[in-house]
Structure formats: C-alpha cells, structure tokens
Amino acid sequence: MAADILLYQSDAVPAGHDQKQHLELARNLAERFNARAGEAVFSIPEPFIPEVGACIMSLGDPAAKMSKSDAVEANVIKLLNDPKQVAWKIKRAVTDESIADLENRYAGQVYGAIKSGLADVVVAFLEPLQQWNRLTFLGSGSDA
C-alpha cells in the first residue's frame, strides 16, 4: 500500500480508521527519502477519512467489516466481479438499514426493489473500471 501511495504521488488518500497505520508508514518513508535526497521527491500523503463509507461492512454480517480475505466469497464484492454476481451478492446481503427508513424510501414497492436498485448503482459504478481492465489487460493479449 505504501509503495502505491508513493508511486502515484498521492496527496490525499481515502482510508478507513483501521488503515491509518499503513498511511503513516507511507508518510514516514516519504519524509525519510525526501530528507536523504535533499528535495521533495515524494508527496507527503494525508489521510482522507470520509464521514460516510469509511468502513464497508460484510454482506453476510453487518457487524463485521468487509474483507477481501473473508472465507465466504458471497460476503465480499470484488471490483472485477461479473455484474450478475455483484447483483446476486447484494440481493442476498443482510440489510443493515432501519426498517422505517426503508419503508419511507420504497413505499408502494416490493422488497426486492430495494436491493435491485442498490445492485444497479453498484454495477454502474464498477462498469468503467471493469471496462478499463478488459481493454488494458485482456485487450493486450494478457491473461490477467
């Protein structure tokens, strides 16, 4: 993580509270390298911890943090998951929003509309990244 941050000269890095120590490592490395080089070779990154979305919860357990190392594949949405797979994972996820909020927002609609709406938004968000990945890696003849 530190190498990626420094390589791309990131000034502000979106991170959760649990990732601040990784960002501190990147800051320390940049400061030490810059001091030894006698010039500002690397930007000194600052954490950007948003009020909403700083911690994404597991699809199977809203009390646990989503983790790429989760043993249950269905609990995690990976950036390159097929859109149908993303929609399926969202539709089977445990709902962590209050029932009253959901009733007000989706009055007159069936329960499935809630998760279908969310799945559509997530799939649309991931589409540009997935298209870039296909063009960059699969279009170049690579098996990535």
Give residue-wise pLDDT tens across range 37-93. Answer: 999 999 999 988 887 776 788 898 888 888 888 889 899 999 899 999 999 999 888
pLDDT of residue 9: 92
Residue range 73-138 in CATH 1.10.240.10: yes
What's the pLDDT tens digit per position in 3-32?
888 999 988 988 877 788 888 999 999 999
The predicted-structure confidence for 79-92, as pLDDT tens digits, reads as follows 899 999 999 999 88
Q: In the chain, where are the structural domains located? A: 2-48, 73-138
Distant-in-sequence, close-in-space partners of 102: CB < 8 Å, separation ≥ 6: 95, 114
Q: How far apart are the first and last CA of the chain?
A: 20
Q: How far apart are CA 71 and CA 83, in angstroms?
A: 21
Percent above pLDDT 70 for the chain: 94
